[in-house]
Chain A
Amino acid sequence: MIKLFSLKQAKKDGESPRTGTQKKASAAQLRITKDINELNLPKTCGTEFPDPDDLLTFKLIICPDEGFYKGGRFVFSFKVGPNYPHEPPKVKCETQVYHPNIDLEGNVCLNILREDWKPVLTINSIVYGLQYLFLEPNPEDPLNKDAAEVLQNNRRVFEQNVVKAMRGGYVGSFYFERCLK
């Protein structure tokens, strides 16, 4: 057991150590630095950091090279909070997309972004999760119910709708902006 302070010792206000003070990086900061430095992106994905000094805010661009969404370009915004990795980053899809698991406001239904997030997961895990959504859209857990129904009932019509949306045009009553590469 150590003796932390002697009884007579009074602490002085604002006394700074010899080397001068420097703000220490937070645990979230240290962890995200590691995550970003070790990003191992598939060739279909890229990142964009508007401010390289802010590793907590960035965009992920996915350009699928196979599947329904081949040829499209989809932008996701990432916001990493001070409680990372105890809490997952907030991810939104900024590109309007006709997709069963992404709604028209950009909400993404991916289990590891919410209920199945674990601190051992990394930004890379999320990138792979998002990429997978484009390869295997999942009509079982829909956010865009209409798209999910079409995918379940008629894959050909779904495929045509995806192409229509990516070229820029109406699917049903909703107008999608062009997002081809």
Chain B
Amino acid sequence: MGSDYAHRKWCHLRKVLERSGPFCRPDFEPSPNTLQFLSENCKLLVIGAGGLGCELLKDLALMGFGQIHLIDMDTIELSNLNRQFLFRQKDIGASKAEIAAKFINTRIPGCHVIPHFCKIQDKDEAFYRQFHIVISGLDSIVARRWINGMLISLLNYEDGELDQSSVIPMIDGGTEGFKGNARVILPGLTACIECTLDLYPPQVTYPLCTIANTPRLPEHCIEYVKVMQWPKENPFDCPIDGDDPQHINWIYEKSNERAVQFSIQGLTYRLVQGVVKNIIPAVASTNAVIAASCSTEVFKLATSCCSSLNNYMVLNDLDGIYTYTYEAEKKEDCLACSQIPREIQISNSTLKLKDLLAILCERVDLQMKNPGITANVNGKNKTLYMQTVASIEEKTRENLNRSLVELGLRNGSEIMVADSTTPNTVVMKLKFSTSTTDIDML
């Protein structure tokens, strides 16, 4: 590759990164190093290699980002090919992440995409901590909440103050038909997924008695088969798999019988697929706009050349183009990002659980009434004590006379405390006083 080529390839980026301008962030320093940072050091994680993912990957790679990890658990299907342009017919059945990475690596010299063909839940903290920015193009709220929780758990607090170097920004894109949104999330600093969870519309559900007795819509018939007939007859001895044509066929036949019985029109195989898999029509151009906006935000954050989107952009291109940007606010009692662990001093490593309970109830700034305590010990949830529920109280009573160390708690361990005096479960961090830590280490 001639240097002349490389020079021409990035000449437009250089104009942005090597010159100052009236719209630059005050702390922006024009420098030729920035471009090098993008291609060599700045590590991105793209979550999802579907409609948004293909667009994102193409945009980011052509914008100079050279170190991109890509994670997706899905394989390529025929119906993806109209918009997921990194895939071809011969790729059907193969991993989206692997094929997309291969395509970009071949097509864009200098860009290194590393694919991960797995669930995001299969990766641990050490994996996520390596990235500068995480970009998500997901179609699932559960997955969004999971990665949101993960990035928040990577935050470091020192004496209640957030260590800003532990912040990994998340750029989240989402589309549904002609509508979409792009948002910039700085975990711990700005509104997170959990803060704005109410913005997601609830899933469409029908009253059980309607689908059981008075169905009027083809959807009622499909839901009937899905929630009542399937569990009862269990035709394939497994839960419904929306990607298995045999399953869809069975549901189609059964719901058709029901539709005929109640003289309901309009039941088709596609509708069955749509209802079972909760398919939302995807519009390629909406994906393109949202991905472009997300990629621009990644570029702004990585280079500091311009202020970030603040912080939630909505798009509707159903009827012309409507777009609006507003600042989603951080929720003060957010279950995910407002959980700054409170420190609790433990003076003695032989302190028993019942003594800790007494501290929680007696300390002037806590004065709890009936605290229930859980903790995560060695990666497993443990209920240490809960007085209010008889069957749990009985089984956890013996913990009261155990010391915190015996229960698996150490200096820095976090406990979750639920009590009627606080609106949410509170996270507390145990701080053993120095002398006991020394004993602990012996």
Contact = CB atoms under 8 A, between A and B. Distances in A.
> In the complex, which of the residues B126, B212, B380, B392 has the most CB atoms of chain A within 10 Å of its own CB atom?
B392
A23 B379 contact: yes
Q: Classify the secondary structure of B's interface with A.
A: mixed
A105 B228 contact: yes
Interface stretch (A29-37, A63-71, A152-160, A163-171): A29-37
Q: Which of B197, B339, B389 has the most CB of A within 10 A?
A: B389
Interface stretch (A14-22, A72-80, A126-134): A14-22
Interface in A15-66: 15-17, 19-27, 29-31, 33-34, 36-39, 46-49, 52-55
Interface stretch (B127-135, B246-254, B261-269, B317-325): B127-135
A25 B372 contact: no
B358 interface: no
Contacts of A21: 125-126
B213 to A, nearest CB: 6
A111 B186 CA distance: 38
B59 to A, nearest CB: 21
A38 B420 contact: yes
A27 B129 contact: no
Listed residue (A39, A48, A49, A83) with the most chain B CB atoms within 10 angstroms of its CB? A49
Given A23-B376, A24-B153, A105-B231, A11 B339 contact: no
Given A14-B130, A86-B200, A25 B156 contact: no
Nearest to A113: B208
B416 A109 contact: no
B37 A82 contact: no
Given A36-B389, A52-B396, A83-B145, A143 B212 contact: yes
Contact of B129 (A14, A26, A83): A14
Contact of A26 (B149, B205, B308): B149
Given A31-B335, A49-B389, A117-B202, A19 B412 contact: yes
Interface residues of B, number: 84
Interface stretch (B87-95, B98-106, B161-169, B277-285): B161-169
A114 interface: yes
Given A25-B416, A52-B386, A105-B231, A1 B165 contact: no
A115 B207 contact: yes
A33 B418 contact: yes
Given A27-B149, A52-B386, 11 more contacts: A30-B335, A30-B425, A30-B427, A36-B372, A36-B389, A37-B418, A48-B391, A49-B389, A86-B141, A114-B207, A145-B213
17 contacts: A1-B27, A3-B27, A4-B301, A5-B165, A8-B37, A10-B41, A26-B146, A29-B416, A31-B425, A37-B388, A37-B418, A38-B420, A55-B381, A111-B207, A117-B205, A119-B197, A142-B209
Interface of B: 25, 27, 31, 33-34, 37, 41, 43, 125-126, 129-132, 141-142, 145-146, 149, 152-153, 156, 164-167, 169, 186, 189, 194, 197-198, 200, 202-203, 205-210, 212-213, 227-228, 231-232, 301, 304, 307-308, 335-336, 339, 370-372, 374, 376, 379-383, 386, 388-392, 395-396, 410-414, 416, 418-420, 424-425, 427
Name the 3 nearest CB pairs between A and B, nearest first.
A37-B372, A24-B153, A141-B209
